[in-house]
Chains A and B, each alone.
Chain A
Amino acid sequence: MRTGTRGRLARWALLRLGGVVFVLWAVATVTFFALRLIPGDPAEAVLGGPGSQASAEALAQARADYGLDQPLVTQYAVYLGRLATGDLGSSYALREDVASVVLTNLGPTLLLAALSLLVAAALALGLAVWSTRGGRISAAIGSLLEIVAAAVPHFWLAISMILLFSTLLGWLPPVSVPGPLGLVLPVLTLAIPLAGFLGQVMREALLDAMQSPFVLAARTRGEGDGGVFWRHALRHAAIPAIGLVGWAFGSLVSGAVVVETIFARQGLGRSLLSAVQSRDVPMVIGVVLVVALAYMLVTTLTDLADRLVDPRLRRVSR
């Protein structure tokens, strides 16, 4: 029985790993060709951006330096070969190793995303608990708040909060400054819409759980309101929310593009934006690959978390 479980786990891990490699290859390939299909010359990125009016000699030099004079298929093969050895290449625009640029920027973005996720989860939980336990009016208010929160665009929220907390009240810096104070507005900007989504899901699940047979069973065992809620219903409600965490992480990374730009924060989102604008192919692929990898890592972890929270999944073999 033990070896069987271990074998299943090994097979599951192997499949998962194969999937990861396949997805990374697909992402690299699609990005590589997509960036080449849209008009614009990557050699110009080397020379300071499109329309740089570079001389023919300079362009020829740049093409030779970066292998851009080779046929596209050759460039692709060379690039893939390098990727396979873990070499992300060097950025056209920044004249630096993509890996080192990504590493520098990964930390700030992960910190932003992780904090936003935590704050969003806390907000969503608070709102869901308050609105399901507070009767009909608080339920309506909670539901409305969630819908509004989920619908507000990041940039609108960011600018509104800058106006309110920086310009009018003067409590918080309007743009990124070193230290925790500079993180408050960026984190709230990402967390509030996400809390709206998570809250909706959690409240549904909570309401659902409160009416389900196991809660009735618990009550008949003499469990009080609070016990039923905290020990049973909440656990039930966490399951769909955990399932959403992977998706939420993806949305946080895309939201980071906006938030990092508005608050002038260092990070992957801002790197990605400027790399796309300057058609810096290695940089774009590098960032996208790292984001894809992080995304897959997070979904794997949420799968594992699901198994911990939901004992039923542990019994079902995959």
Chain B
Amino acid sequence: MNRTLPSLVAAASVILLIAGCSPAAPANTEPVTGGTLVYASGDAEPTCLDPHVGGNYPQALVATQYLESLVSIDDDGEIIPWLATEWSVADDGLSWDFTLRDDVTFTDGTPFTAEAVAVNVAHLQDPATGSSTGYLALQKVESVEVVDDSTARFVLSEPDSALLESLSQPWLAIESPTALARPQAENCESPVGTGPFVVTAWDRQESITLERNDDYTSPPADAAHEGPAYLDGIEWRFLPDSASRYAALQAGTVDVIDNVQPDTIVAAESVDSVEELNAPRPGASNRIELNSSKAPFDDVLVREAFIRSANVDDAITSLFFDTAERSYSPLSSVEKLGYSADPELFEYDQDAAADLLDEAGWTETDADGYRAKDGVTLELDFPVSTNQSIPAEQSLFEQLQATAKEAGFKVNLEPLDLSSWYGALGENDYDLVSAPYTKVGPDVLRILFDSAGTIPAPSGYFANHSQVKDDALDALLQSAGATSNEAERADDYAAAQQIVLEGYYILPLYDQQNHFLLRADVEGLRAMPTVSTPTLYDTWLDR
């Protein structure tokens, strides 16, 4: 199914090239109030609309419309006020005081106070909540003290330079304490925040209905207007199939779609009634991780040989049609502390790969033309999650498999469903793997490359898939996380990324793709600079 759909869409795009193209309406410049926008998501349907519970991207997408955080981030990556107006950190870095807005009320009438912040942090840290992302982000937070109604003090067990970035994420948004006191099932269905919209209904597998919060007063500092949202409401639909999602956009059944595939983006470029919004996700870049904990990748020469043998640039060009840009960094291009290696470090060079393999002792050639050593074929297991990898990316892996074959690598691509894929990772049954990771700020490096990340959680999950264990790297990540000096922090993270790149632990590919298509009469849609979720607060319909 995954293999056939792209070609169908490609065929469709040809037809549409001929048939499409309706004249663009003259643009209205004054925002108008009214109308319901239909947003069609290709991401999974959340299992709970409260992003404290679990904490994944589908939840962040929709929660951005009804929940708000203490702080946000602007386009330059600077922390800006939101529900908190000011903050200060103690000299020892162990306590942070946040001054809160005193004129904000949750949509159930509960006032927003320091007590509410304390309740939210306690909720995130309660095992019964089952929080993963929010819980991890608050690991260094011991408690929140209520200094007065509009001052909340975060007490830390150790300094945390990532605290503000963590708090800006939708998974740590602030909810009404009154609503949180309800049973979890109830709060999952109708979470209550301070946002521009209110959840009024959730028809599973169909849609979530959101209505405007008429009393809304708390946009982030970088919003385009103040007061209530322009839209009367949002119909948030789930359309899992990418071809029908695009068809629905063209037919005008829906106004905005996400998870747009590269071939669709190209097809849409020639359609006047459709516009594109590209908003790469922060956190890690999409990359292939090389499992350095076992043969053959415990040998840096073999890791380098594999990376030299992979013709990434050509594969990206042919499969992503210039909709994705090659990355040379462990971090997303939207991360301001991202460090990019010299492209030469990852240059495609079959001769170099051959020399490296000779040097590493993989000098034999087996009957099928693969390299071998002591009668063992140079084989690499590459489990691929079909739920997290788009078809174009899976084709890219196939092309890399082909170029690596020329160097003598036998790459075994195994498409797996999400559970089996995590199962294979948990059992260390992989040599190559590509796993997305979204988080605001460079602290994601600690999650992905700290030695501690090689120790599986009780669920069997660990985030350090390349299994780097490097004391110097650990020390850099530790000091970057603790320092309150921005320059020092930047230097530490740059040095840490250099170790990861020059050790050939990862093969960076491109940013995590986050493409949206919208109908041309949808105005003022922007992605939050935090985790690139679209916000419909400033959006209005020009019809």
Contacts and interface: CB of A to CB of B under 8 A. Distances in A.
A binds B: yes
A27 interface: no
B463 A53 contact: yes
Contact of B204 (A55, A61, A266): A266
Interface string A162-173: 110011101001
B15 A168 contact: yes
A39 B244 contact: no
Contacts of A56: 457-458
B474 to A, nearest CB: 20
Given A48-B55, A61-B130, A93-B47, A271 B205 contact: yes
B253 A173 contact: yes
A196 interface: no
A52 B423 contact: no
B127 A277 contact: no
Interface string A147-168: 0000000011011101100111
Nearest to A260: B205
B420 to A, nearest CB: 6
B47 A163 contact: no
Contacts of B487: none
Interface string B44-79: 110110000111100100000000000000000000
Given A39-B427, A48-B55, A168-B19, A155 B244 contact: no
Contacts of B426: 39
Given A40-B419, A277-B417, A277-B419, A175 B253 contact: yes
B135 A95 contact: no
Given A174-B253, A175-B248, A52 B458 contact: no
A270 B427 CA distance: 30
B29 interface: no
Given A156-B8, A277-B417, A59 B458 contact: yes
Contact of B424 (A39, A173, A267): A39
A175 B239 contact: yes
A211 B50 CA distance: 68
Given A39-B420, A39-B422, A264-B237, A159 B5 contact: yes
A199 B130 CA distance: 53
B251 A173 contact: yes
A47 interface: yes
A205 interface: no
Give the bracket for the number of chain A residues in contact with chain B. 35 or more
A40 B129 CA distance: 21
A48 B130 contact: yes
A213 to B, nearest CB: 49
Contacts of A155: 1, 4-5
Contacts of A168: 15, 19
Contacts of B419: 38-40, 50, 277-279
Centre residue among B4, B243, B419 by max chain A CB count within 10 A:
B419
A13 to B, nearest CB: 37
B418 interface: yes
Contacts of B464: none
B132 interface: yes
Contacts of A177: 253
A94 B54 CA distance: 12
Interface string A265-300: 011001100101111000000000000000000000
Contact of A52 (B1, B54, B129, B417): B54
B205 A266 contact: yes
B418 A51 contact: yes
Contact of B423 (A38, A47, A93, A96): A38
A234 to B, nearest CB: 38
Interface in A127-158: 155-156, 158
Given A39-B422, A96-B185, A266-B205, A47 B132 contact: yes
Contacts of A274: 44-45, 205
Nearest to A176: B206
Centre residue among B12, B45, B47, B48 by max chain A CB count within 10 A:
B47
Given A39-B420, A159-B8, A53 B185 contact: no
A174 B127 contact: no
Contacts of B241: 261-264
Contacts of A43: 459
Contacts of A261: 240-241
A48 B248 contact: no
A74 interface: no
Interface residues of B, number: 65
A93 B203 CA distance: 15
B136 interface: yes
A291 to B, nearest CB: 17
A54 interface: yes
A48 B54 contact: yes
B243 A159 contact: yes
Given A47-B54, A48-B56, A62-B130, A174 B459 contact: no
A44 interface: yes
Contacts of A78: none
A51 B461 contact: yes
Contacts of A51: 418, 422, 459, 461
Interface in B1-58: 1, 4-5, 8, 12, 15-16, 19, 40, 44-45, 47-48, 53-56
Contact of A167 (B16, B54, B237, B460): B16
Nearest to B437: A53
Interface string B232-247: 0000011111011101
Nearest to A48: B54
Interface string A74-101: 0000000000000000000111100001
B423 A40 contact: yes
Centre residue among A44, A155, A170 by max chain B CB count within 10 A:
A44
A302 interface: no
Nearest to A42: B419
B251 A167 contact: yes
Nearest to A263: B244
B47 A174 contact: no
A72 interface: no
A267 B203 CA distance: 12
Given A95-B188, A264-B244, A266-B204, A47 B130 contact: yes
B131 interface: yes
B135 A55 contact: yes
Interface string A6-40: 00000000000000000000000000000000111
B239 A41 contact: no
Contacts of A40: 419-420, 422-423
A193 interface: no
B442 to A, nearest CB: 18
A95 B204 contact: no
A105 interface: yes
When A and B form their complex, which 4 residue pairs have the shortest distance between CB atoms, in order from nearest?
A48-B54, A39-B423, A40-B419, A57-B127
7 contacts: A51-B461, A53-B461, A54-B457, A167-B16, A167-B251, A264-B241, A277-B44
Given A58-B127, A159-B244, A174-B248, 19 more contacts: A48-B55, A48-B130, A50-B418, A53-B136, A54-B131, A55-B127, A58-B131, A93-B47, A162-B243, A162-B244, A166-B250, A167-B247, A173-B251, A174-B251, A258-B1, A263-B244, A264-B241, A277-B387, A279-B419
